Amino acid sequence: MKLRDIAHARSGDKGDISNISVIAYRMEDFRLLQRAVTTEAVKACLKGVVKGEVVRYEVPALGALNFVLHRALGGGVTRSVALDAHGKCLAALVLGLDIPGDRLCNQTFD
């Protein structure tokens, strides 16, 4: 299944840093997000775009994960020659991630 089947995303930017929040449509799916949407998965998805560290913060009360992407905007909005200097398309790319399992909140991946 695709991540977009169980979550939506918002993005923002400041300088050469972009952030993407991935928010579960249903709180029951938050555990699945925690297990499947790792920093490694996000970095692999955005390989060649994000040149720095990817940091994940969890916001369980909102059923959300926030990813901070360092060196992701080609130097920043005013310096980048990228078509999407603000990084809005990065959230759409992340929502295309394939994630294992189904929508069951008690799904295990061990």
Query: Per residue in 4-28, is it b (16+ CB within 10 Å) or e — as a string?
Result: bebbebebebeebbbbbbbbbeeee
Q: What is the mean pLDDT of the segment spanning 35-62? A: 94
Q: What is the mean pLDDT of the segment spanning 62-76? A: 87
Q: What is the mean pLDDT of the segment spanning 23-42? A: 96
Strand 54-59 with 64-70, pairing: antiparallel
78 pLDDT band, cuts 50/70/90, is low
Return the closest-CA partner of residue 4 out of 20, 24, 28: 24
Determine what percent of the chain is predicted with pLDDT higher than 70.
Answer: 78
Q: SS3 for 59? A: strand
* Per-residue pLDDT at 85: 47
CATH class of 3-95: alpha beta
Radius of gyration of the chain (CA): 14
Q: What is the pTM of this model?
A: 0.82
What order of strands is seen across the sheet that includes strand 17-24?
7-14, 17-24, 64-70, 54-59
Q: Which two tokens stand for residue 12?
A: 């923002």
